[in-house]
Chains A and B, each alone.
Chain A
């Protein structure tokens, strides 16, 4: 415990401290915004180089009003959901098979390491040739990215379930499926969810990269098209929206799910669960 905890603190100062603590995450955004304002006012760069803040706000509004934004966001999210679902299902399935069989694991490990090293965007040129430009391409790249992360986390999770627990349940007369269902799966679940969470983050980034060249719609396509007309206000808006979606997905959707599972089934230490 630090000294602060012992020293008496005046209520006013304390309230202020709590308020500052709550608000401090907004500060970097405000600072960047301020720098952006000042930079623009001092240097007056051309709008193509750096759009003024107002232009970006207007661009976002225009995109939203014209329905373009919704179309692109839905296109991107649709691909993400489809690719991730495939990645999660195959990843968890393969992870269980490999995690439960030491021999298979040992044999496949080198392949997994190698294909993980080239997962995602590296497949782009080959897959453009095989699948053509379109949704199938983007879905493949997301599947490929998500699969390896979910797969590796599942393997880890399955292998880390203490054998004693499995043996215990077996000794009480449970069959193989019952053991899997009531011990291995819940035991591995926190790891699987961590895998899904980081997988979706990676998948989202891979998707945007894939859309830059390999799609006819979506947020990546939107910013790449805008570049041709030097519409940096649209590029900026696109990046802001991409980041916002990533944050919403991670913080408000996946993190809470992960936290709950870890609390419920986690074999993780308290310190980590509190994070």
Chain B
């Protein structure tokens, strides 16, 4: 069996919402705002005409006021910083563990093949499914949330590191070796740059999965964070907080994804992208 059997294209083997980055293209501010304005308008009309009780639907203005109120009391900042800290810590730990593991496994084709199906299995059992067990282990703490988020985040990172390493054309390393490069040089000069774009794609995917797992875990662990905010508001029927929280969750995710992770992806791919994106 030759190397040809290994997947040459690291073409994102994990389920990928293909167009998550639907050509982010050139949005002018107005163009983005118009559809949202229309949506808020529709919401307002429905709310005004429908005479809904407060526990069912409130006006956009009400949601806005609630957000301002929460913000001015500093509560919102705390919920947001809890969530952001969690996803940040989880991303760092996942990278610190996932990339080396992906490298080790990726450098051996038996190991790579062996781990592939296992990783798929792990991905099939969402982190949230383990939550009840993790709660038994660590109680209703931040540790529990962190474990669940890392579990979710780390799989795509390992996977993409692995495929990234495997996709580095063999002649590169053969060429460097014949020029007398050491194993370390091989890693720093060939495999790491070669795998980097794929790793960043993995990170971006993982952040997407991890963010959702974080929100879900926060809903059940109830130790602060945006998930806690919207789920806690449900028990007291505060629709304004729920909708406000949802808007924040969406906005924050888009900010992190578009302003942090996607630029990173573009930079790495532009700089080191031996791979087709």
Binding site for B on A (CB under 8 A): 1-2, 4-5, 17-18, 20-21, 24-29, 32, 48-49, 106-118, 120-126, 128-130, 148-149, 152-153, 155-156, 191, 194-195, 197-198, 201-202, 204-205, 208-209, 212-213, 220, 223-224, 226-227, 230, 232, 235-236, 238-240, 242-247, 250-251, 269, 271-272, 275
**B122 CB within 8 Å of chain A:** yes
* Complex contact A49–B1 (CB within 8 A): no
Task: Report how many residues on chain B are interfacial, defined by Cβ distance under 8 Å.
Answer: 71
**A–B Cβ pairs within 8 angstroms, 5 of them:** A110-B31, A152-B18, A194-B18, A243-B124, A272-B9
Interface segment among B72-80, B192-200, B237-245, B264-272: the answer is: B237-245
* Complex contact B17–A148 (CB within 8 A): yes
* Complex contact B219–A213 (CB within 8 A): yes
* Of listed B11, B13, B36, B242, residue having the most chain A CB within 10 A: B242
How many angstroms between the C-alpha atoms of A17 and B136 in the bound complex?
43
Interface segment among B85-93, B96-104, B178-186, B226-234: the answer is: B226-234
Contact string against A for B residues 1-45, beta-carbon threshold 8 Å, 1 for contact and 0 otherwise:
111100111010101111110100001000110111001000000
Closest 3 CB pairs of A and B: A246-B124, A198-B15, A227-B132
* Complex contact B133–A232 (CB within 8 A): yes
Task: List B contacts of A269 (CB < 8 A).
Answer: 9
Interface residues of B in 231-277 (CB under 8 A from A): 231, 233-234, 237, 239, 242-243, 245-246, 249-251, 253-254, 257
* Complex contact B17–A198 (CB within 8 A): yes
Chain A nearest CB: distance from B137 CB in Å? 7
How many angstroms between the C-alpha atoms of A110 and B250 in the bound complex?
12
* Complex contact B242–A25 (CB within 8 A): no
Given contacts A107-B31, A244-B121, 12 further A-B contacts (CB under 8 A): A27-B114, A48-B136, A111-B35, A117-B253, A117-B257, A121-B212, A122-B246, A122-B249, A129-B237, A156-B19, A205-B128, A244-B124
